[in-house]
């Protein structure tokens, strides 16, 4: 069974959703027969790498929040992440255009390192406060999980995997995704959001049973 996950490594709910889905999958009796494919989605395709204001000010400007509302929102999300074993430092998170990160994830997939690349990029952004839009930083992060440096440099210097990223984004729209994380199980079932692990577990069972019923 294939599970496709549309995600953006600059999306805090995507990291939480990743952990919750992984917890559900770990308890799924057919987990060894489940293949996960990460798909590209840009929450803000026009995002700049320039840092303007602190993270709270950017959040306030984007959603029209007061500083108190922004602080409480970040604190609540940090607590939710901690419950999933994640250490968030949202005050360190740097703005980033994630298009190159998505292209390099496609490169990593070709080396069997897709999951490692996705996890490293999430941790860099939300825990370590590392820029996931800077080419040099991306090179260091991806070589760190085993992706060949020469190939990373080649991708960043050209347009390789651009079409693949755009196709995945278009496919998300066809499935009706309006945000991420967005999960598609066996091209039969779609679900949006960082659902509780119990919901993911039920979806896995339902998709598996439907698959078995068609054999």
What is 2-213's CATH number, 3.20.20.140, 3.40.30.10, 3.40.228.10, 2.60.120.260?
3.40.30.10
pLDDT number for residue 215: 54
SS3 59: helix
pLDDT number for residue 92: 87
On whether the CB atoms of residues 120 and 142 are closer than 8 A, the answer is: yes
Tell me how crowded residue 61 is: count the other CB atoms within 10 A of its CB. 12
Give alpha helix (H) positions in the chain. Answer: 12-26, 55-63, 67-83, 99-110, 114-126, 135-143, 149-156, 162-175, 197-213
Tell me how crowded residue 187 is: count the other CB atoms within 10 A of its CB. 10
Ordered by start, the domain boundaries in the chain are 2-213
Apex 115 CA angle, 113 and 119, nearest 5: 115
SS3 93: coil
Q: In which region does residue 191 sit, left (phi positive, over 0), alpha (psi from -120 to 50) or beta (all else)?
A: beta
Please name the helix (run of DSSP H) or strand (run of DSSP E) that holds residue 61, with its range, or none: helix 55-63
Q: Which of 10, 4, 1 is nearest to 126 (CA)?
A: 10
Q: Which of 120, 131, 126, 22 is nearest to 74 (CA)?
A: 126
pLDDT number for residue 60: 81
Q: Give the pLDDT means over successive 10-residue stretches in the chain (215 positions).
A: 97 97 98 98 83 70 83 94 97 91 98 98 96 95 98 98 98 95 96 98 96 73
């Amino acid at each position: 069974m294939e599970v496709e996950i549309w995600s953006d490594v600059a999306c805090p709910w995507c990291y939480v959703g990743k952990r919750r889905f992984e917890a559900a999958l770990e308890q799924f009796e057919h987990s060894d027969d489940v293949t996960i494919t990460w798909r590209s989605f840009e929450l803000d395709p026009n995002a700049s790498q320039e840092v303007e204001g602190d993270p709270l000010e950017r959040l306030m400007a984007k959603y029209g929040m007061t500083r108190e509302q922004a602080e409480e929102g970040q604190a609540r999300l940090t607590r939710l992440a901690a419950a999933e074993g994640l250490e968030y430092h949202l005050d360190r998170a740097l703005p980033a255009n994630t298009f190159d990160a998505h292209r390099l994830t496609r490169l990593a997939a070709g080396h069997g390192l897709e999951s490692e690349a996705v996890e490293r990029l999430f941790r860099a952004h939300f825990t370590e406060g590392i820029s996931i839009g800077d080419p040099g930083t991306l090179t260091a992060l991806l070589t760190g999980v085993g992706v060949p440096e020469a190939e990373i440099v080649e991708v960043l210097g050209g347009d390789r995997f651009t079409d693949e990223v755009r196709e995945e984004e278009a496919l998300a729209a066809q499935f009706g995704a309006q945000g991420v994380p967005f999960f598609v199980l066996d091209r039969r079932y779609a679900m949006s959001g960082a659902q509780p692990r119990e919901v993911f577990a039920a979806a896995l069972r339902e998709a598996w049973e439907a698959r078995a019923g068609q054999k």
